[in-house]
Amino acid sequence: MSSIESLLSDRVLKLKPSPTLAIDAKAKMLKAQGIDIVNLSAGEPDFDTPKHIKEAAIEAINQGFTKYTPVAGIVELREAICNKLKTDYDIEYSVEEIVVSTGGKQGLFNVIQAIVNPGDEVIIPVPYWVSYPPMVELAGGRPVYLQTYPEDNFSIDIDSLKKLITQKTKAIILNSPSNPTGAIYSEELLTEIAKLSIEKNFLIITDDIYDQIRFDGKSPYNCVSLVKESKDHVIIANGVSKTYAMTGWRIGYLAGPQPIIKAATKIQSQSTSNPNSIAQKAALSAFTGPQDCVKEMAKAFKERRDYIVNRLNNMENVSTTIPEGAFYVFPDFSKFYGKSVGDKKIEGSLSLADYLLEDAKIAAVPGVAFGDDHFIRFSFATDMENLKKGMDRLEAALKEIK
Ligand SMILES: Cc1ncc(COP(=O)(O)O)c(C=O)c1O
C-alpha cells in the first residue's frame, strides 16, 4: 500500500469494487478504438426524455428557477408524488412523508444510512441489484443473503425468509420488477412479507423503480397497497429515471413513515441538499403531464422482451426465465462453464462475459455482479436491429465453446 493509499478510510478500503467495471471499461476502450460493439449492458431506456418534460425544464431555466429549493424537494413535486401513489397504488401519503433525492439511488442510500446501525442485518434476495450490499456495508450493516432460483421464477420462499429473521434484522430490500431478473413478486408473497414485517417488527424497503415497466397488463402493487396496515413498516423508493427515460436528470424519491423520511432528509441536508431545481420541475411535468409515453415505452420493451427470450431459448445449452417487467433478461449459461474456446477457459460468468466482449463484441454484465454466477444479464433497452445483431453474434460465439 502506498503512503497516500494508507490515508484512505477503512470504510472505503473494505468496499468491494464493482465487477461490472472491468467489463464496462473494456467495452468503452474497444468502442473508442472504433470496434463495433453491441452494447447490451445498459441500465437505462434508449428512448429520449419526452418533449413536454424537456420543455418544462427549459421553462424553469428561463423563469430563473435556478436557486436552492427545500431540501426534501418543492412542495408541488411532493404533492404530485402523493397523487401518483394514490392513482397508481391507491395509497395515501402526505407531503411530509415524501423526500425527493438526486436519483432513486440517493434515496436508497439515505434511507439505509437512516435506519442501519453497525451490526444490523438487512436481508437481500439474490440475485440483487449491485448497489444494495455496498450501501448496507457502508452503513456498518451486514447483508444477509436469501437465495432465489429460476425454477421458482426467482420468487422468495417465505419459510427460508422466516429462518433468516433474527433480533438484529432491521430490514429487507425488495425489488419488483427486478433488476437483473425481471421477475415480479406475487401479490400473495408480498402480502405475507408485509404481515411478517408487522409481526416481527422489521422494515421493508420496496424499490419500485421499474413499477411502470411490466408486461402482465396489471397495475403495480407493493406491500403497502396490499396490506394497508403495513404502511409504517414500508419505505417506497422510486423515481423518474426508468419510467420517463430520465436517467441523467437524477430525480428519485422515498415515501414512508414520517420519522424515517425526516431522518433521510436530515442526511440529505448534510450531504447534497436539495435535488437539482430544474430537474424537479421536469419531474413535476413528468408526473402531471400525459402518461401515454410511459405506455408506449413499456409496449416497445415487451416486443423486445418477446424477441430476445425467443432467441435465447432457441440456443443450445441456454435457458432463461421470462422477464415480467423491467428491461433485462437473465439467462443461465452455467452449462458452458468448465469448457474452453481456443486457449480461453470459460470458468464462470466473468470469463464468459469477457469472451463475449473480446471475441463476439457483445457487452453484457456477468451474473457474479448480482451475486449469482450462473447467469449473464442482457439489457433489451436497445433497438430491434441491435438486439438481432447481438443475438446472432451470441449464438455464433456460443457454438465455438467446446
Ligand atoms: C433496481 C434499481 N434501483 C434503483 C436504481 C437507481 O436509479 P436512479 O438512476 O434513479 O438512481 C436502479 C438503476 O439502475 C436500479 O436498477
Give the mean pLDDT of 19-25.
69
Q: How many domains does the chain have?
A: 2
Measured from the Cα of 44, ligand 1's closest atom is 14
Rounded to two decimals, the pTM is 0.97
Q: 318 and 334, same structural domain?
A: yes
Dist. CA 129–CA 248, nearest whole Å: 19
Of 166, 171, 240, nearest to 206 by C-alpha is: 171
85 and 153 co-located in one domain = yes
- Domain end point (choices 268, 288, 308): 288
- Render pLDDT for 348-401 as a digit per residue (tens, 0 to 9): 999 999 999 999 999 999 999 999 999 999 999 999 999 999 999 999 999 999
Of 288, 315, 343, the residue that ends a domain is 288
Is residue 151 in a domain? yes
Range of the domain at 192: 67-288
Which of 308, 325, 372, 327 lies closest to 184, judged by CA? 325
- Phi and psi at 350, nearest 5°, equal -70, -45
| Alpha helix stretches (DSSP H) within 257-383 | 258-269, 277-288, 292-313, 349-355
Measuring CA to CA, how many Å separate 211 from each of 203, 216, 221, 340?
Answer: 20, 12, 8, 40
- Res 21: pLDDT: 66
**What is the grid cell recorded at 141?**
450493516
Q: Is 56 part of any domain?
A: no
CB 133 less than 6 A from any atom of ligand 1: no
Whether residues 145 and 96 share a domain: the answer is yes
Is the beta carbon of 238 within 6 A of some atom in ligand 1? no
Same structural domain for residues 262 and 308?
no
Tell me: the pLDDT tens digits for 208-238?
999 999 998 899 999 999 999 999 999 999 9
Q: Binning pLDDT at 50, 70 and 90, where does residue 43 land?
A: confident
Same domain, 219 and 277: yes
- Among 224, 256, 288, the domain boundary falls at 288
**Mean pLDDT, residues 31-48 taken together:** 91
Q: 349: CA distance to ligand 1 center in Å?
A: 22
Residues 234 and 328 in one domain: no
CATH number of the CATH domain containing 314: 3.90.1150.10
Task: Kindly give the number of the ligand 1 atom that is closest to the alpha carbon of 247.
Answer: 9
**209 and 97 both lie in a single domain:** yes
Model pLDDT for residues 149-205, shown as the tens digit of each residue: 999 999 999 999 999 999 999 999 999 999 999 999 999 999 999 999 999 999 999
Considering the domain architecture, whether residues 90 and 167 belong to the same structural domain is answered as yes
CATH code for the domain in which residue 140 is found? 3.40.640.10
How many angstroms separate the alpha carbon of residue 3 from the centre of ligand 1?
A: 36
- The verdict on residue 55 lying in a domain is no
Instruction: State in Å: Cα 209 to ligand 1 middle.
Output: 6
**pLDDT confidence bin for 19, thresholds 50/70/90:** low
DSSP secondary structure code for residue 25 in this structure? H
Band (pLDDT 50/70/90 cuts) for residue 24 is: confident
The DSSP bridge partners found for residue 340 are: 345
**pLDDT tens-digit profile of 110-136?**
999 999 999 999 999 999 999 999 999
In a domain, 316, yes or no: yes
d(CA 271, CA 341): 49
Grid coordinates representing 206? Answer: 420496496
Mutate which of 106, 135, 241 for ligand 1 pocket (most atoms within 8 A of beta carbon): 241
The pLDDT value given to residue 91: 97
What is the enclosing helix (H) or strand (E) of 164?
helix 158-164
Look at residue 336 and give its three-state secondary structure.
helix
105 alpha carbon to ligand 1 midpoint, in Å?
6
367: cell is 451474473
Give the list of residues 6+ apart from residue 164 with CB closer than 8 angstroms, or none: 123, 144, 146
User: Does 234 fall in a domain?
Assistant: yes
Q: Which residue has the cell 405475507?
A: 192
Q: Which residues contact 64 (CB under 8 A, 6 or more apart)?
A: none
Answer yes or no: is the C-beta of 209 below 6 A from any ligand 1 atom. Answer: yes
pLDDT digit string, tens, across residues 253-277? 999 999 999 999 999 999 999 999 9
CA dist., res. 20 & res. 42, Å (int): 11
124, 233: one domain: yes
Taking CA atoms, 55 is separated from 81, 195, 248, 314, in Å, by 20, 44, 16, 44
Quick one: CA torsion of 309, 315, 316, 319, rounded to 10 degrees?
Answer: -10
Q: From the alpha carbon of 241, which atom of ligand 1 is closest?
A: 10
| Residues 317 and 180 reside in one and the same domain | no
One domain, residues 194 and 74: yes
89 shares a domain with 13: no
Residues forming a β-bridge with 319: 332
